[in-house]
Amino acid sequence: DTGVSQDPRHKITKRGQNVTFRCDPISEHNRLYWYRQTLGQGPEFLTYFQNEAQLEKSRLLSDRFSAERPKGSFSTLEIQRTEQGDSAMYLCASSLAVSGEPQYFGPGTRLTVL
């Protein structure tokens, strides 16, 4: 296994369009996390799953955002009716569900909303 992968790496869209990102975690990892990172800031938590259950969502995750992990493997993050303020790097990470186990990050998806 080569680590966490994300697709696409870059996405340019027009305001009002919907976009969907995919994350494939490290295969034996049962926790999967989504973060958002804007320029000059550290990553901010959006949501996380343990297996297929979504256990926590940030207040940053407005009703335009939805995340799924239907079979407990890959996850998708959808943003509906994109706004310019959604422009950011969207990072996915995975880990084992053991206290202290570190999170391993993917390369991220850079979203630009015009």
Size, binding site for another protein by CB under 8 A: 31
3-class secondary-structure state, position 85: helix
49-57: Cβ within 8 A, 24+ apart: 49/75, 50/97
Residue 78 is a binding residue for another protein (CB under 8 A): no
Residue 12 is a binding residue for another protein (CB under 8 A): no
CB of 32 to another protein, least distance (A): 12
Task: Tell which residue, 93, 95, 90, 96, has the closest CA to residue 112.
Answer: 90
Q: How far is CA 21 from the centre of its chain?
A: 7
Q: Which stretch binds another protein (CB under 8 A): 11-19, 62-70, 72-80, 89-97?
A: 89-97
Interaction site with another protein (CB under 8 A): 4, 6, 31, 33, 35, 40-45, 48, 55-56, 58, 91, 93, 95, 97-108, 110
